[in-house]
């Protein structure tokens, strides 16, 4: 996701925090801080542990693997 999209998708009440966080991100990158001074700019949510592929190195391929799906109320908590 591009930074412009992050800003455009933000709720107005969080916009100043997100812009400040992006500012900290650029400062941290410019000066190569050893500790991250900013929060993650984006988050990927994996709502299921199921998969149709069966890659041999993956736990999904193991016998007895149980697929779980994220419940909608948990998903909404994270947004
Ligand atoms: S590594 Fe696992 S989750 Fe990823 S594609 Fe392969 S089987 Fe699916």
Report the predicted TM-score, pTM, of the whole model to 2 decimal places.
0.54
Going by C-alpha positions, the residue among 24, 52, 54 that lies closest to residue 40 is 24
55 lines ligand 1 (CB under 6 A): yes
What is the rounded (10 degree) CA torsion for 26, 29, 34, 38?
30
Local confidence band at 78 (pLDDT 50, 70, 90 cut-offs): low
Q: Given ligand 1 and candidates 50, 58, 67, 68, which is best to mutate, with the most ligand atoms within 8 Å of its CB? A: 58
Triad 79, 15, 71: Cα angle to 5° = 0
- Reported as a single tens digit per residue, the pLDDT across 49-72 is 999 998 999 988 888 999 999 999
β-sheet bridge partners, residue 48: 69
d(CA 7, CA 9) in angstroms, rounded, equals: 6
């Amino acid at each position: 996701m591009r930074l412009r999209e992050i800003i455009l998708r933000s709720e107005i009440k969080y916009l100043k925090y997100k812009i400040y966080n992006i500012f900290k991100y650029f400062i941290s990158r410019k000066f190569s801080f050893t500790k991250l001074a900013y929060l993650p700019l984006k988050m990927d949510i994996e709502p299921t542990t199921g998969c149709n592929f069966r890659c041999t190195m993956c736990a999904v391929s193991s016998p007895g693997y149980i697929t779980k799906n994220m419940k909608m109320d948990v998903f909404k908590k994270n947004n």
